[in-house]
A = this chain, B = another copy of it.
Amino acid sequence: MQTIEQLLESKDIRVTVMRLLIYKFLAEKQVAVTLSDIENAFEKADRTTLYRTIKTFEEKDIVHQIDDGTGITKYALCEKGCNCEIETDLHLHFHCNNCNETICLTEHKIPQIKVPDGFVSENVNLVVKGICDKCSR
């Protein structure tokens, strides 16, 4: 079991207070978060810092970006074994039309998609929208 510090260092990210806090915030969340969510959680910190932190995390494959169609990009921690490096977001994402939350369905891989002759598929974004388990019961 490695500490967050060790994880960051293993990805060539220098450990800072801000980064540890943001990492912990993401880890506690069960849903994908927007930059505004982070902003609201850390009102004392500057938006730019939060923005650049999440960008650093993204570059180093600590988080992956999710485009759920709301127009606002969201982020979620990569699971161990997530290989965003190779092909982004192999798993699908679910966006709840009721509570507006988006979650990673890491167990649900994206099926192979056929494209017409001449087209080359490099990656796939699949978002299912509907009602989440919390809202449907």
Contacts and interface: CB of A to CB of B under 8 A. Distances in A.
Interface of A: 67, 69, 71, 73, 92, 94, 97, 105, 107-108, 111, 113-133, 136-137
Given A124-B126, A124-B129, A125-B126, A105 B97 contact: no
15 contacts: A67-B71, A69-B125, A92-B113, A105-B116, A108-B113, A111-B113, A115-B128, A119-B128, A119-B130, A119-B132, A119-B136, A121-B128, A123-B129, A125-B125, A125-B129
Given A119-B132, A121-B128, A126-B127, 9 more contacts: A92-B113, A107-B116, A108-B116, A115-B130, A119-B128, A119-B131, A121-B130, A124-B126, A124-B129
